[in-house]
Amino acid sequence: MNRPSRKQLFTAGSRLALAVQYDGREFNGWQQQRSPVMPSVQDALETALSSVADEAVTVQCAGRTDSGVHASHQVVHFDSPVDRPETAWTLGVNSQLPDTVAVKWVAQVPDDFNARFSATARRYRYVILNSAQRPAHLTAGVTWVASRLNEAAMHDAAQALLGERDFSAFRAAGCQSRTAMRNVHHARVGRVGELVVLDIQANAFLHHMVRNIAGSLIQVGLGQQSSDWLAGLLETRDRSLAAATAPAAGLYLVDVHYPERFGLPEEVLGPFFIRHLFD
């Protein structure tokens, strides 16, 4: 795709897509809350967009993230109520956002584009700092596991997740999805120094699905369960038999895939400190 010129004008009525990154530690998840204890990412973004537009702007995202979960490549769409140049929706919006949220790019898309329903896949990474001592840096960006993890065993176990399966064993009790069937395209575990990373892509995910999978893989990595344990868990469809939900701090939404006809940039993949592990 040709990136829009900074002098390009997006006219009122245009449907626009934004790529957004954020540090989730200060937010009560993506979705706007009725009575928030903490603000949501959606609140922050819509406030900034509305300030630039001088009118109310609402957005729809590709995938709602939980409290404390991060994104390096969230995609949203909205219909512009006014004429504005590209720089207004990037530099202008970023100047109105907190330091923990930033717009990466904006692009005009067809009117039938929908950030959620047009997406064909979402990709997440779960980042574990596997070191004997607790970290002083990136404490809200990684999950710390002190005992040595066997990442090869974790990777082997994760292969049981591939394909279209019932993921009830990794579904949160409060999940509102009508079905637990999901299609996992890949699930890989690798190591770079002290970082052990789960990289997983599927057509869509259930509530807490990645964190529940990560929690069970950590048990495999610690030798508390065998490499074939996840395959058995899938068969049981029983959430109570799987491991505890892994912390939110290590989880990142890193990519969203769309049909080529929409012409969106394909950018892979943060967070910056493990960007090239699987690419």
Amino acid identity, residue 78? F
Q: Contact at 8 Å (CB) between 255 and 249?
A: no
- Interior/surface letters 157-178, b for 16+ CB within 10 angstroms, e for the rest: bbbbbeeebebbbbbbeebeee
Q: Which of 23, 43, 54, 66 is catalytic?
A: 66
The 3-state secondary structure of 128-195 reads EEECCCCCCCCCCCCEEECCCCCHHHHHHHHHHHCEEEECHHHCCCCCCCCCCEEEEEEEEEEEECCE
Examine the residue annotation and report whether 66 is marked as an active-site residue of this protein. Answer: yes
* Residues labelled as active-site residues: 66
